[in-house]
Amino acid sequence: MKPTQPCADSLQQARLARYSPGSTKASARYLWPLAALMLLLAVNLLLDAGFFQLSFQDGRLYGSLIDILNRSAPVALLAIGMSLVIATGGIDLSVGAVMAIAGSICANLLLQADLPLPLVIAAGLATGIAAGLINGTLVSYLKIQPIVATLLLMVAGRGVAQLINQGQIVTFLRPDFAWLGSGSWLGLPVPVWLVIVMFGLSQLLLRRTALGLFIEAVGCNATASRYLGINDKAIKLFVYAFAGFCAALAGMISAADIQGSDANNAGLWLELDAILAVVIGGAALSGGRFSLLLSVIGVLIIQSLSTTIIVSGLPAKFNLLIKAVVVLLVLLLQSDKFRRQLSSWWPKLRKWRKGGQP
Amino acid sequence: MLLLSSTLALSSLAGATTIGFSQVGSESGWRSSFSESVKREAAARNIDLKFADAQQKQENQIRAVRGFIAQRVDAIIIAPVVETGWAPVLREAKRARIPVVIVDRNVQVNDDSLYLTRIASDFTEEGRKIANWLMQKTEGKCNIVELQGTVGATAAIDRAKGFNEVLSAYPNAKIIRSQTAEFTRSKGKEVMESFLKAEQGGRNICALWAHNDEMALGAIQAIKEAGLKPGQDILVVAVDGVPDYFKAMADGEANATVELDPHLGGPAFDVIAAYLNGDKDIAKYINNTGELFSQDTAAAEYQKRTNK
């Protein structure tokens, strides 16, 4: 019995070293993005005293905080998919266009009389998976660089959506489908529930099986992981298909939200917001470690910032500048090097002030 | 000789006019109905229309115009993508004695003899019209929230200018919140949600003024979800006149819009016909600002626009 004990110990240690949510390093990873989010919410409270007010109205919670969660939903879904793609060292620029395609497919199917809702949703999701499989095949089997492979669909995809919609904004009157975007359940908007469910399922799939580890391994070193027996091509194909699925869901939410499919504007530039959120969440674009929770926090930061800008009453021309400055600050706060630099300046600054005051 | 000249005269009189039309592209529903209307009008007048879609690129437009000049068309209509860079190709057209009519957006050239005339609606006038309507309706007392178009777009700048011009005469009316919603429906909804929260659930807002109908349509949904009645609790005014907005007006959820007239083909062909028939006294700018529509006629107008 005795000789096995050290072995079990080291196994336990290895496990802890791999995933130890309680270790100091992990908590530092969560600290700065969370601090940034809290700070933004505090600024909102200063601008608008009723910011944290929640009321119950027509069977749903109503307030600015709920709005932020609700408006975050499409980008949060994109970011969940994007986290995995980025973890393999790839990038998916096409998710915004895939949103537009899925939205246009659903909108046009809804115009056909009496198609059952599940069929419409399945068609939308299948579109997303198909688009993801195209991306994944180009990247993993044809060895095209991810940024180029997905750029194709980013540019062409919007054109496909415009073709499907024949250049018009296709509107539909289907309360059952609109429920996906503007309905509510147990007080919370449906898009928020969809994000929660998607987040929970992905987390289970990635962390309760070896899949998450495989994805990180492929991102760290695809060749080494292949020698370890991981099918790196299949993993890459999977993450792009997964990102496509998430994008389709996001596209259906935004189409359902305005009860129409606007091929020109649905999901426009949202791929960049999703990438930004993943980066704010601390993931490296070179691949490897990822955290879905941090990516979602990144999304919440971006959305709170948009709300802050709207509530602030500043002229619209400052929007993008403010966004850029705040994102830069958040990223700087997360940089160890910058924080060390800052803390090394601090004593000097105090000394200088003391010296300056006789 | 007589026969030849008479057939020549006949051909030019009997509607064998050839006109080249360089269109921006088909980026929006409004643009498509603009193209369709020009084609329909040309067919009705028996004009041989050469249509060139520039896919939002000026170099394609310039190439198309050079092509028209080479084909020696009787006149050229340009709906320009951008305002600048038109002088060289317009000079070529002038040298070939082909009249050019500019429609919709403007061109910037030092010498305005390079084109025959410009036909467009006046964005500032649109803003003034809708503001006047709103001020009459509310007797000059109103807290307005504004959804701006894309930052820097001419339509957004000039519509706001016209609107504010009228507003300055009414001390009790003011814009309490203003933010861009980028001319899109989803942004309109998102920004309006925040406005409603920031203004005590919308109780403080008397009217919504959107720089286009799409944003207003998004905002209407936000108002409904906040438990208020758009069109009653919060008046809704916008510009463009898209079919969906007429439907919203017919349903009582929106109040008024000024149509951005897509039927620019008719006036353009009229001017060209007048010029070719010897009328050299043509104004350099023809104002084609659309009418204001309100709920009274909305149902009938919606019928008209959907059953073409």
Report whether pLDDT(B14) > 90: no
Predicted local confidence at residue B106, as pLDDT? 84
Cα angle value B191/B192/B194 (rounded, 5°): 70
Across the interface, do A266 and B186 touch by the CB < 8 Å criterion?
yes
Across the interface, do A167 and B225 touch by the CB < 8 Å criterion?
no
Rounded distance between C-alpha atoms, residue A305 and residue A329, angstroms: 12
Predicted local confidence at residue A337, as pLDDT? 86
Instruction: Provide the CATH number for the domain around residue A106.
Output: 1.10.3470
Across the interface, do A50 and B200 touch by the CB < 8 Å criterion?
yes
Q: One digit per residue, pLDDT tens: chain A, 358 residues?
A: 344 444 455 555 545 544 444 344 567 778 888 988 999 899 888 887 878 888 887 778 888 899 899 999 999 999 999 999 999 999 999 999 999 999 999 999 999 878 899 999 999 999 999 999 999 999 999 999 999 999 999 999 999 998 998 877 888 888 899 999 988 888 899 999 999 999 999 999 999 999 999 999 999 999 999 999 999 999 999 999 999 999 999 999 999 999 999 888 899 899 999 999 999 988 888 888 899 999 999 999 999 998 888 888 888 888 889 989 988 988 888 788 888 888 888 888 777 777 655 4
Give the CA dihedral A22, A24, A27, A31, nearest 10 degrees. Answer: 160
Across the interface, do B194 and A313 touch by the CB < 8 Å criterion?
no
- Asked if the structure places residue A243 within a domain, the reply is yes
| CB atoms closer than 10 angstroms to residue B66 | 14
- Asked if the structure places residue A348 within a domain, the reply is no
Q: What is the DSSP letter of A243?
A: H
Say whether B182 sits in a helix, a strand or coil: coil
Q: Which residues of A touch B214 (CB under 8 A)?
A: 169, 262
Predicted local confidence at residue A275, as pLDDT? 95
| CB atoms closer than 10 angstroms to residue B74 | 19
- Asked if the structure places residue A47 within a domain, the reply is no
Which residue has tokens 């010897």?
A: B278
The type of residue at B64 is A
The chain B residue lying nearest A189, using CA atoms, is B225
CA separation (Å) from B166 to B131, B132, B155, B163, B206? 6, 7, 17, 6, 17
Across the interface, do B226 and A62 touch by the CB < 8 Å criterion?
yes
Q: Which residues of A touch B193 (CB under 8 A)?
A: 67, 71
A266 touches B at CB < 8 Å: yes
Residue from A205, A44, A227 nearest A197 by CA: A205
Structural contact between residues A192 and A181, judged by C-beta atoms closer than 8 angstroms: no
Residue A98, domain extent:
63-333
| CB atoms closer than 10 angstroms to residue B122 | 15
Rounded distance between C-alpha atoms, residue A103 and residue A247, angstroms: 10
Across the interface, do B185 and A50 touch by the CB < 8 Å criterion?
no
Q: What is the DSSP letter of A168?
A: S
Nearest-Cα distance to chain A for B56, in Å, is 14
Residues 147-186 of A with CB under 8 A from B: 167-169, 171, 182
State the pLDDT confidence band at B162, using cuts at 50, 70 and 90: very high
Number of H helices, E strands in chain A: 15, 6
Predicted local confidence at residue B28, as pLDDT? 67
The chain A residue lying nearest B31, using CA atoms, is A167
Rounded distance between C-alpha atoms, residue A204 and residue A197, angstroms: 11
Packing angle, helices A211-220 and A64-87, rounded to 10: 60
Across the interface, do B184 and A262 touch by the CB < 8 Å criterion?
yes
CA separation (Å) from B145 to A311, B129, B175, B188, B242? 12, 17, 6, 12, 21
Structural contact between residues B265 and B75, judged by C-beta atoms closer than 8 angstroms: no
Nearest beta carbon to residue A264 from set B28, B200, B221: B28
The chain A residue lying nearest B149, using CA atoms, is A316
**Which site among B24, B148, B159, B185 would you substitute to test the A interface, given the most A Cβ atoms closer than 10 Å to its Cβ?**
B185
Nearest beta carbon to residue A182 from set B177, B191, B225: B225
Predicted local confidence at residue A12, as pLDDT? 57
- Residue-wise pLDDT for B193-208, tens only, equals 999 988 888 889 999 9
Q: Which residues of B touch A57 (CB under 8 A)?
A: 227
Q: Which residues of A touch B200 (CB under 8 A)?
A: 50
State the pLDDT confidence band at B231, using cuts at 50, 70 and 90: very high
- Asked if the structure places residue A236 within a domain, the reply is yes
- Asked if the structure places residue A4 within a domain, the reply is no
Nearest beta carbon to residue A316 from set B151, B190, B227: B151
State the pLDDT confidence band at B290, using cuts at 50, 70 and 90: confident
Q: Which residues of B touch A319 (CB under 8 A)?
A: 151, 180
Predicted local confidence at residue A20, as pLDDT? 43
Using a pLDDT cut of 90, give the percent of chain B over it: 58
Across the interface, do B148 and A316 touch by the CB < 8 Å criterion?
yes
Q: Give the phi and the psi of residue B230 in degrees, each rounded to 5.
A: -65, 140
Chain center to CA of A28: 21
Q: Which residues of A touch B218 (CB under 8 A)?
A: 258
Q: Which residues of B touch A51 (CB under 8 A)?
A: 197
Structural contact between residues B252 and B231, judged by C-beta atoms closer than 8 angstroms: yes
The chain B residue lying nearest A317, using CA atoms, is B151
Rounded distance between C-alpha atoms, residue A258 and residue A172, angstroms: 10
- Asked if the structure places residue A42 within a domain, the reply is no
Across the interface, do B27 and A254 touch by the CB < 8 Å criterion?
no
- Asked if the structure places residue A183 within a domain, the reply is yes
Structural contact between residues A235 and A136, judged by C-beta atoms closer than 8 angstroms: no
For chain A, the domain total comes to 1
**Tokens representing residue A28 in the block:** 């530092």
Nearest-Cα distance to chain A for B244, in Å, is 9
Nearest-Cα distance to chain A for B253, in Å, is 15
Q: What mean pLDDT, rounded, does chain B reach?
A: 88
